[in-house]
Chain A
Amino acid sequence: MRSATAIIIGAGHSGLAMSWHLTARSIDHVVLERGEIAHSWRTERWDSLRLLTPNWQSRLPGHGYAGADRDGFMTMPEVVHFLQRYAEVSRAPVIPGVRVTRVRQDAEGYELSTSQGGWRCRQLVIASGACNLASVPSLSAGLPTKVASLTPMQYRRPDLLPDGGVMIVGASASGVQLAREIQAAGRRVVLSVGEHVRMPRTYRGRDIQWWMDAIGAMDLRYDAAENIERARRLPSPQLVGTPERATVDLNSLRQAGVELVGRLAGLRDGKAQFSGSLANVCALADLKMNRLLAAIDAWVTASGLEQRFAAPHRPAPTVVGAGTKLSLDLIAEGIATVIWATGYRPDYSWLDVPVLDRHGRIRHDGGVVAAPGLYVMGLPFMRRRKSSFIDGAAGDAADLAAHLHQSLDRAAA
């Protein structure tokens, strides 16, 4: 059995950022990667996907974007290349092709079973990603067998879908991007909309992520959030990364021909039933967006920088048609595919340590898991609002590496 003081599971941006900090502290470690570096970015994303954050914001410890298009959005191959380059320059001790199949706790730390034999470590960092599995609601069981059922992890591009209409369930980042792309390919698209977060791509001449960063919203700490559980469950904002910096919202989708319906509430006798709450979820999203824009305006005013930025404005309120459908006969209406853009969750099926809550979520305090020497990285709002972003890995890895180092010192003393 091989051993290391610390083991990091996963060579994505989180695992590599942690490795950089452990190297800086001369802590002996390895990074076990089930495939190759940036495995999820290579294999579990659709073809046209780009990062939702601008290139300049891909900041990792000791590494950043060095290209010419600082305001652009990386394609998936570019993200893979960026992370590969990072692993090279930081000399991360990555061992590829090692799938962890089981982790057990023992008196000394952790024992890992993998596809390439056993490993032992005192400290373990889980950086295997927040989006390993697509969350599909249990009501999906009622889908007629004739209708193809896909998740965004299986979707690649419109022409690979069966002929016919497409119903997309969920209007967060994935749902609105797929609706836009599939509609543009000439398909009929029905988008089922529950609670969502609306954001313009640009505001007052800057990217919305620039503003979130500038006003300090991305740095908000988990222990300062008003309701951290709710903040962690918040759906991803309706954003798309495109060269033309397009804003995608329900108004633009509707104008493009996407049919908006309420949250999917039931599937019975081949009919989809939609909630009548569409107007309210849109009103909530509009109000929250305007609060964010007002906070940006207040920051500009307080900083005395009005002259530097374009004038404030408010995007048009979301228009919900009066004829919104409450039910849809999928077969009769020719809906051949349903895509469940209903969120993602991490996979901990290999973790044989009692640290999961009744929803299967890992119990942690800012990434410090409730078992000695166990850490997690990259979860939504884990230590800061930006924890699950590439830009969030640096701060979180620095904090957790310090904690890990301290507890090693305590054990040695």
Chain B
Amino acid sequence: MTANNSTATQVKNGVNVEALLGAREALEKAPEAAQFKWRASCEWLNGTHSRSTIGKFFGLGAEQSRDTTFTVEADHPKVFASEDHAPTPVELVLSGLASCLTAGVAAIAQRRGIQLHSVKATLEADMDIQGILGIDDDVRNGFGAIRVHFDIRADADEDDIKALVAQSQKRSAVFDIITNPTAVFVTVN
């Protein structure tokens, strides 16, 4: 059976679950405030090297700014005749999936009263680059498969840890983005 919630305050995974639950309760009553818009912009630097900027977003019914505007760079490795200044975009997608699932594991562990000691996700994705090179139109551009392996040390039995990882996938935005189709609209000036 699920861990008793009354023990939740005794574990310290550094996730403020009370705040998240409070937000859920508030948003159930005001679903319009749950409409978020996430944004990013990207500027070409040179070659395959680019820099994305991530700052303001819209949520809780208003424009939200944050203390820092973050930048993330992307490039391609030398095997693609690039200069390798930064990870490739597909590696950033993998790291996005890893971080999203890991954050989920921590939040759900906190909620279920499970003390974590360490969480490590290792990801590997298959890609047949005949697709992106236009060699074979039957080969998809994106990943053929992604494998995620978690090593988790926690005060919980094996099934409870498996349940953390399963629930984290169920609630993960990036997992959903990768596993389900999304309509994409691209315009240009």
Contacts and interface: CB of A to CB of B under 8 A. Distances in A.
Given A226-B2, A277-B169, A291-B1, A283 B179 contact: no
A113 interface: no
Count chain A CB atoms within 10 A of each CB in B2, B169, B175, B180 and give the residue with the most: B180
A90 interface: no
Interface string A257-300: 00000100110100001011100110110010011001100000
Interface string A61-72: 000000000000
Name the interface size band of chain A: 20 to 34
A277 B166 contact: no
Contact of B181 (A195, A265, A284): A265
B159 interface: yes
B181 A287 contact: no
A276 B162 contact: no
A254 B137 CA distance: 31
A280 B181 contact: no
B181 A276 contact: no
B166 A283 contact: yes
Nearest to B183: A266
B116 to A, nearest CB: 18
A273 B181 CA distance: 8
A277 B169 CA distance: 8
B175 A277 contact: yes
Given A291-B1, A295-B1, A283 B181 contact: no
B180 A275 contact: yes
Given A283-B166, A290-B159, A277 B1 contact: no
B2 A262 contact: no
Nearest to A265: B180
B72 interface: no
A287 B179 contact: no
Nearest to B163: A287
A283 B162 contact: yes
B153 interface: no
A281 B171 CA distance: 12
Contacts of B9: none
B178 interface: yes
Contacts of A273: 180-181
A284 B175 contact: no
Given A226-B2, A291-B1, A295-B1, A266 B169 contact: no
Interface extent on B, as a size class? 10 to 19
B167 interface: yes
A226 B21 CA distance: 14
Given A265-B181, A277-B179, A284 B170 contact: yes
Contacts of A294: 1
Contacts of B1: 291, 294-295
Contact of B170 (A262, A265, A280): A280
Interface in B129-166: 159, 162-163, 166
Nearest to A282: B166
A244 to B, nearest CB: 31
Contacts of A266: 180-181
B166 A276 contact: no
A266 to B, nearest CB: 5
Nearest to B180: A265
A317 to B, nearest CB: 10
Contacts of B166: 280, 283-284, 287
Contacts of A262: 179
Nearest to A284: B166
Nearest to B31: A358
A291 B3 CA distance: 12
Interface string B79-119: 00000000000000000000000000000000000000000
Contacts of B5: 226
A177 B1 CA distance: 28
A124 to B, nearest CB: 29
Interface string B1-25: 1100100000000000000000000
Nearest to A324: B145
A265 B180 CA distance: 6
Q: Choose among A287, A294, A295, A358 the residue with the greatest number of B CB atoms under 10 Å from its CB.
A: A287
A284 B172 CA distance: 14
Nearest to A292: B1
A287 B180 contact: no
Given A265-B180, A277-B180, 10 more contacts: A276-B178, A277-B175, A280-B169, A281-B170, A283-B162, A284-B167, A287-B162, A287-B163, A291-B1, A358-B31
13 contacts: A195-B170, A265-B179, A275-B180, A276-B179, A276-B180, A277-B169, A277-B180, A283-B162, A284-B166, A284-B167, A287-B166, A290-B159, A291-B2
The 8 lowest CB-CB distance pairs between A and B, nearest first, are A276-B179, A265-B180, A280-B169, A283-B166, A284-B166, A266-B181, A277-B179, A287-B163
